[in-house]
Amino acid sequence: MSWNAFATVAETKAALEAKEVSAVDLAKHYLDRTAQLNPGLNAYITLNPEKTLSEALSTDNKRSKGEVAPLLGVPIAHKDIYLIDGWRTTCGSKMLENFVAPYTSTVVKYMADAGMVTLGKLNMDEFAMGSSNETSFFGPVKNPWDTSRVPGGSSGGSAAAVAAGLAPASTGTDTGGSIRQPAMFCNLTGLKPTYGICSRYGIIAFASSLDQAGPFAQTAEDCALLLNAMAGFDPRDATSLDRPKEDYTRDLAKPLKGLRIGLPKEFFGEGNEPGVLKAVEAALDVYRKLGATTVEISLPNVKYSVPAYYVVAPAEASSNLSRFDGARFGHRAKDYDDIVDMYKRSRAEGFGAEVKRRILIGTYVLSHGYYDAYYLQAGKLRRLIAEDFKKAYEVCDVVIGPTAPEPAFQFGAKADDPVKMYLNDIYTICANLTGQPAMSHPCGVDENGLHVGMQIIGNYLDEARMLNVAHQYQLATDWHKKHPNI
Amino acid sequence: MSLSAQDIERIAHLARIRVTPDEVGQVQAKLEGIFKLIDDMQSVNTKGVEPMSHGLDMVLRLRDDAVTEKNDRENLQRNAPQAAEGYFLVPKVIE
């Protein structure tokens, strides 16, 4: 069978519906390509061809019986943070090296209900803590565009797999930029929805008030199709939004005439690599040609996003990761003196350096006497940042800027300096702190040919408009149609 | 802010993570760098600001006090490092 590995979800869906291709053929195609290319990229941690092919066969049988589902037979690969019953789920950690999930996360279930076939589990920074995929216990993922560079993180495997044509789409999670930054580094479109749109049930928790699931794909249209499947109320997630389903594709075709784009001066400063700014400026010209207007805005408190985040995220992580104690699941040390020593050694052996650092920071800021100075102060800053955005939406519909200040960097460039690594997320973190939706789409290359992403931040629940904005840009440009030569 | 070696040992104990004497210096240096970054936010006057944890300020739902989950013990214990007769086995804690 001949199949374009870079076909979009929309094209794949159409080909399946026209019976030009079967789900089994597609699954085989991506599994074969993965067998060939994954050893060089390390995008997948776990494959289970037997399960994948049996799921694919079952969707083909459904189709032949006349059953319909929105994405029946379309393959999808999941970040290894999503539990899927019977699949090993490692979260990129030695702690869960041999953990087999006993139940399925809601997002994966909803996607399976929509007919999607699971191709495998994707590599990631350990417990989603990292911006380069270098913290994975299973080794770093290589960027398919340049294997000496990082794919971004923490959803690095999710980005690399789609960029290399090892899956037509994938899921990721975004706590501080973990979908948007790798989407930029690998020339993809990635979306972090409004907090509460996608259920967190069955996604291994990092920072519960920030974590949100979202899709990676070649196009904004695909992200809309995928979000239609992923989103939905779930009583098992206490912060899931109880609201009717919406169709995120409904506004894709709307012209952009009259759209007001806010450009925060804080996002266009000297901290950006010149090539990144140039690409974003060129993309803004395209938006103006499409009928949008731009207005300069200011988000004066957004500069506190990174410090506030490095209180909130580690604090919540230290609490969430206390469940890994070597008693009920996960790694247990071989030798220990007593139960406390068992906890300490199991955690010291099972967690990598970055995860331990964050647990220690979180433990400190939550320890007796420090709560007001850290967690409470960070919570108040979240409010101030959210108010900055609220004010901005009086004069604009979406906020746009670069996704990250520099494109994909070399392995090792920041690995020894956590603060340098953290500052790579300077533009993405604010949307997690406020809970707003945000996405990244390809918008050009810098002087070295490295891909630049444009971030669109929207008001709460405004995903359909943001996808419309990105889709109209993609109709007028072809950056998103460029694929690595592998 | 500066952290002492004793601070690191105390936090590590609270976090139940073994940090060997050789590692303390390295951990201390990295954490100090991170706290330098965090301490940037201390200068902001936030008097009277209501802290936020959810953008839409939703309140947690209540549910009916009803049994909704089935007993799935065997399945859930399959990942236990040591289990027997429905219990998780740990080192002796009561003499």
In eight-state DSSP terms, residue A4 is -
Chain B residues touching residue A327 (CB < 8 angstroms): 80-81, 88, 90
Residue type at position A394: E
Residue A159 confidence class, pLDDT cut points 50, 70, 90: very high
The CATH number covering residue B29 comes to 1.10.20
Q: How many structural domains are present in chain B?
A: 1
Would B11 be classed as within a structural domain? yes
Give the number of other CB atoms < 10 A from CB of residue A392. 19
Query: How much of chain B is helix, strand and coil, in % rounded to 5?
Result: 40, 5, 55
Beta carbons of A342 and B55 less than 8 Å apart: no
In a domain, B26, yes or no: yes
Token output for A20: 């030009």
Residue B82: predicted pLDDT: 96
Q: Catalytic positions of A, please?
A: 79, 154, 178
**Across all residues in chain A, what is the average pLDDT?**
97
- A176 within 8 A of A430, measured Cβ to Cβ: no
Evaluate whether residue B25 is within a structural domain: yes
Q: Assign B69 a pLDDT band (cuts: 50, 70, 90).
A: confident
- Residue A248 tokens read as 């995120």
Burial (CB count <10 Å: 0-12, 13-18, 19+), residue A334? exposed
Annotate A89-108 with DSSP letters as a single string: --TT-GGGTT-B-SS--HHH
Distance from C-alpha of A81 to C-alpha of A91, rounded to nearest angstrom:
5
Query: Residue B2: pLDDT above 90?
Result: no
Distance of residue A419 Cα from the nearest chain B Cα, in angstroms: 6
Q: Is the pLDDT of residue A340 over 80?
A: yes
Average pLDDT in the A230-258 region? Answer: 96
Domain ranges of chain A: 9-230
Q: Is-contact A193 A461, C-beta < 8 A? A: no
Distance from CA of B13 to the nearest CA of A (A): 8
Residues in A closer than 8 angstroms to B18, CB to CB, are 341, 344-345, 347-348
Nearest by Cα to A361 from B50, B31, B9: B31
Nearest to A438 by CA among A175, A127, A132: A175
Q: Judge contact between A85 and A120, C-beta under 8 A.
A: no
Which helix (H) or strand (E) is A448 found in, with range? none
Chain A residue numbers with beta carbons less than 8 Å from the beta carbon of B90 are: 327, 339, 342
Residue B24 lies in a domain: yes
Give the A window 35-74 contacts with B, CB below 8 Å. Answer: none
pLDDT value at B1 more than 80? no
Strands (E), A287-334: 293-297
Average of per-residue pLDDT values in chain B: 93
Helix (H, G, I), strand (E, B) or coil at B87: strand
Number of DSSP helices (H) and strands (E) in chain B, helices first: 3, 2
What pLDDT, on a 0 to 100 scale, did the predictor assign at position A473?
98
| pLDDT at residue number A462 | 98
Q: Which CATH architecture has domain A9-230?
A: Alpha-Beta Complex (3.90)
Residue B34 covered by a domain:
yes
Note the pLDDT tens digit of each residue in A379-430: 999 999 999 999 999 999 999 999 999 999 999 999 889 998 999 899 999 9
What is the number of other CB atoms lying within 10 angstroms of the CB of residue A208? 16
Rg of chain A in Å (alpha carbons):
21
Task: For residues A223-245, give the mean pLDDT.
Answer: 96
Q: What is the pLDDT of residue B57?
A: 76
Please check whether residue B17 lies inside any domain of the structure.
yes
Global ipTM: 0.96
Q: What is the pLDDT of residues A38-88, one digit of tens each?
A: 999 999 999 999 999 999 999 999 999 999 999 999 999 999 999 999 999
Instruction: Verify whether the Cβ–Cβ distance A329 to B75 is below 8 Å.
Output: no
Residue A483, exposed/middle/buried by CB under 10 A (0-12, 13-18, 19+)?
middle
Domain interval for residue B32: 5-42
**A97-155 pLDDT tens trace:** 999 999 999 999 999 999 999 999 999 999 999 999 999 999 999 999 999 999 999 99
Q: Say which range, A55-64, A247-256, A416-425, A455-464, has the weakest mean pLDDT.
A: A416-425
B85: in domain: no
Residue A13: what residue type? K
Q: Are A472 and A256 in contact (CB under 8 A)?
A: yes
Euclidean distance between CA atoms A142 and A132, whole angstroms: 10
Could you tell me if residue B36 is inside a domain? yes
